[in-house]
């Protein structure tokens, strides 16, 4: 009896609606895993190949298979990063970082890339507390009629121009938050949201699919604050 029931369920699984549901269920389970492995493999490949090219200059390394050279390059790269950090902490202190900063800042084109990369790496490697103060989550609009956008305020102190105050905001793109737009948003068009940095990042990456109940309430409160500011601004202009 159980065997017949199993075969019946197995045949029904090939119906169109069941096939669609099964494919979606498989995508939900495997999609994040595949994407995570892809990003990790990309990082390993770029990072490992960089040091592997340097190692290829050594005669006894040239005959090693490419995959093994990449793996060796990755291990050496991680080891160099660790040794550098250890040296900074135990021996050289902040002076080593200052030396690299001064050296790279003397090269016209390189200094722009270096300074931007340095700030990005510092922010990514910062503690959660530093991220919350240097990357506060905000909802903002560029016009009174919307649309309403989410981003990260990159500095606490706003820029002042006359009687107006502007916040510098980084708005990541979806689903690749490593790119985005740098904007200056008027204070009256912006509202801070009580959302954890990592949660906001996840919301942006998933195009809003992963919004929790609490996060949704906080976002609604942020929208209400912006609408209140816009209404107050309109009433002042009307009077």
pLDDT tens for 162-204 read 888 899 898 888 877 767 888 999 888 898 888 887 788 888 8
Whether 110 is in a domain gets the answer no
Same structural domain for residues 132 and 229?
A: yes
Domain assignment of residue 105, yes or no: no
Q: Are residues 82 and 140 in the same domain?
A: no
Over residues 40-78, the pLDDT tens digits come to: 777 777 777 777 777 777 766 667 777 777 777 778 878
Q: Are residues 88 and 189 in the same domain?
A: no
Task: Tell me the average pLDDT of the chain.
Answer: 75
Q: Is 232 found in the same domain as 180? A: yes
C-alpha 176, offset from chain centre? 8
133 pLDDT above the threshold of 60: no
Last residue of a domain, one of 80, 97, 114: 97
Does 153 map to a domain? Answer: yes
Residues 162 and 71 in one domain: no
What per-residue confidence (pLDDT) applies to 45?
A: 78
Residue, of 230 and 7, whose pLDDT is higher: 230
Within this chain, do residues 132 and 84 fall inside the same structural domain, yes or no? no
Examine residue 154 and state whether it is found in any structural domain, yes or no.
yes
Same domain, 135 and 85: no
Q: Look at residue 21 and tell me if it is in a domain.
A: yes
Q: Looking at residue 166, what is its pLDDT?
A: 92
230: containing domain: 128-238
Query: What average pLDDT does the segment 118-140 reach?
Result: 63
User: Do 90 and 133 fall within a single domain?
Assistant: no
**Is 226 a domain residue?**
yes
Q: How far apart, in whole angstroms, are the C-alpha atoms of residue 175 and residue 13? A: 32
Residue 145 and residue 234 in one domain: yes
Instruction: Judge if 85 and 134 occupy the same domain.
Output: no
What's the average model confidence in pLDDT over 23-52? Answer: 75
DSSP labels, the chain:
-HHHHHHHHHHHTTSHHHHHHHHHHHHHHHHHHHHHHHHHHHHHHHHHHHHHHHHTTSTTTTTS-HHHHHHHHHHHHHHHHHHHHHHIIIIITTHHHHHHHHHHHTSHHHHHHHHHHHHHHHHHTS-HHHHHHHSEEEEEESSTT--EEEEEE--SSPEEETTEEEEEEEEE-SS-TTSEEEEEEEGGGEEE----HHHHHHHHHTTTTT--HHHHHHHHHHHHHHHHHHHHHHHHHH-
* pLDDT on residue 129: 47
**What's residue 209's pLDDT?**
78
Write down the pLDDT at residue 132.
46
* pLDDT recorded at residue 44: 75
Number of domains in the chain: 2
| Predicted TM-score (pTM) above 0.75 | no
pLDDT(130) > 60:
no
Please report whether residue 111 resides in a domain.
no
**Confidence class of residue 124 from pLDDT cuts 50, 70 and 90?**
low
Tell me which of 97, 120, 137 is where a domain ends. 97
Model confidence over 223-233: pLDDT tens digits? Answer: 888 888 777 77
In whole angstroms, what is the distance from residue 72 CA to residue 44 CA? 11
Residue 122 placed within a domain: no
């Amino acid at each position: 009896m159980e065997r017949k029931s199993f075969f019946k369920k197995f045949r029904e699984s090939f119906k169109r609606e069941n096939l669609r549901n099964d494919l979606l269920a498989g995508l939900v389970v495997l999609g994040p895993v595949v994407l995570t492995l892809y990003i990790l493999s990309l990082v390993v490949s770029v990072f490992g190949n960089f040091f592997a090219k340097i190692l290829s200059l050594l005669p006894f390394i040239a005959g090693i298979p490419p995959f093994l050279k990449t793996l060796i390059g990755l291990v050496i790269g991680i080891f160099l990063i660790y040794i550098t950090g250890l040296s900074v902490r135990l021996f050289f202190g902040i002076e080593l970082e200052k030396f690299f900063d001064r050296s790279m800042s003397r090269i016209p084109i390189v200094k722009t890339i270096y300074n931007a990369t340095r700030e990005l790496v510092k922010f990514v490697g910062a503690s959660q507390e530093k991220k919350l103060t240097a990357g506060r989550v905000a909802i903002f609009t560029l016009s009174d009629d919307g649309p309403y956008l989410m981003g990260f305020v990159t500095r606490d102190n706003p820029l002042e121009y006359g009687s107006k105050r502007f916040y510098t905001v980084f708005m990541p793109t979806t689903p690749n938050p490593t790119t985005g737009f740098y904007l200056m948003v008027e204070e009256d068009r912006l509202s801070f949201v009580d959302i954890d940095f990592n949660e906001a990042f996840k919301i942006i990456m998933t195009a809003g699919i992963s919004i929790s109940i609490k996060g949704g309430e906080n976002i609604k409160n942020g929208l209400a604050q912006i609408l209140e500011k816009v209404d107050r601004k309109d009433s002042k202009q009307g009077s």
